[in-house]
């Protein structure tokens, strides 16, 4: 027997609508004259429309992977890095191979996501990905070979850390030294789901590491600035000098804080 919607409170109806009700229930709600019910129904319709838009954009960001899959390249790895700009800490790269049925609609360029959203998606990506590899280039290597080459080195290391050898790479704005075919894609983290997933893994991995460094060097506020040159960070450099994780070839460290 179907329950009459008039017997349900507005809060009960809201809860049911949040659980994706069947179409028959929604049809019956449309006949409910209560203003509060119609408000909840309108909110529900807007959520559906927003979700549908997310699905369309998600599918668009999966177009590069699907083309490679259709061409027989089953394992496609997206690659991205985090930490090119900071004054301290490593650059970290990630390589991610996603399954063909991957459906986390919120996966996008990590820079467009809140810290909490990145953390949540990071866990889900690690759970659902076919393979994840992480590469690391510390401040000493950055100073030795420059940040661009260090990022390339970290990306190569991330690919080599994958437990599945990819048949195709999609890389954000650069190429690495490998025999695996690679697509260099400008703004790839916003155009490819695999690269977006890699950007999240790289960013969160680096954030976690900077939290650890903050416990070693608390006066530099690494847990909040992630090594970037904030006022508090620069003040600490002036007072306490550089640490082993600072990039000595980066300005203003190179000209102002080295004796």
The count of other CB atoms within 10 Å of the CB of residue 240 is 12
First vs last C-alpha separation in the chain? 82
The Cα–Cα gap between 252 and 259 comes to: 13
Coil, helix or strand at residue 249: coil
Residue in the structure block whose two tokens are 């599918």: 59
Cβ-based neighbours of 5, under 8 Å, separated by 6 or more: 13, 25, 28, 29, 31, 32, 37
106 annotated ligand binder: no
- Residues in a beta bridge with 76: 168
The Cα–Cα gap between 238 and 32 comes to: 68
52 annotated ligand binder: no
Q: Left, alpha or beta for 41 (phi > 0: left; psi -120 to 50: alpha)? A: alpha
From edge to edge, which strands make up the β-sheet containing 182-185?
131-137, 91-97, 76-82, 168-172, 182-185
172 annotated ligand binder: yes
Binding region for a divalent metal cation? 80-81, 172
What residue numbers does the annotated binding site cover? Answer: 80-81, 172
């Amino acid at each position: 027997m179907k329950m009459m919607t008039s017997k349900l409170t507005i809060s009960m109806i809201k809860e049911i609508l949040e659980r994706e009700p069947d179409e028959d229930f929604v049809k019956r709600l449309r006949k409910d004259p209560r203003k509060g019910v119609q408000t909840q129904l309108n909110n529900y319709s807007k959520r559906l429309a927003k979700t549908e838009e997310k699905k369309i954009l998600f599918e668009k960001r999966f177009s590069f992977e699907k083309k490679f899959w259709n061409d027989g390249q089953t394992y496609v790895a997206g690659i991205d890095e985090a930490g090119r700009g900071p004054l301290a800490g490593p650059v970290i790269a990630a390589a991610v191979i996603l399954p063909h049925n991957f459906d986390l609609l919120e996966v996008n360029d990590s820079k467009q996501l809140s810290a909490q959203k990145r953390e949540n998606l990071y866990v889900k990506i690690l759970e659902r990905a076919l393979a994840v590899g992480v590469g690391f280039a510390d401040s000493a290597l950055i100073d030795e070979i420059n940040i661009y080459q260090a990022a390339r080195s970290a990306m190569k290391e991330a690919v080599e850390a994958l437990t599945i050898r990819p048949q195709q790479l999609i890389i954000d704005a650069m190429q690495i030294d490998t025999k695996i075919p690679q697509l260099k894609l400008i703004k790839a983290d916003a155009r490819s789901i695999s690269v977006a997933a890699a950007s999240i893994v790289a960013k969160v991995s680096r954030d976690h590491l900077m939290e650890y460094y903050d416990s070693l060097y608390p006066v530099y506020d690494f847990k909040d600035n992630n090594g970037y040159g904030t006022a508090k960070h620069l003040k600490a450099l002036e007072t306490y000098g550089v640490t082993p994780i600072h990039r000595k070839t980066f300005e203003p460290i190179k000209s102002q804080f080295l004796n």
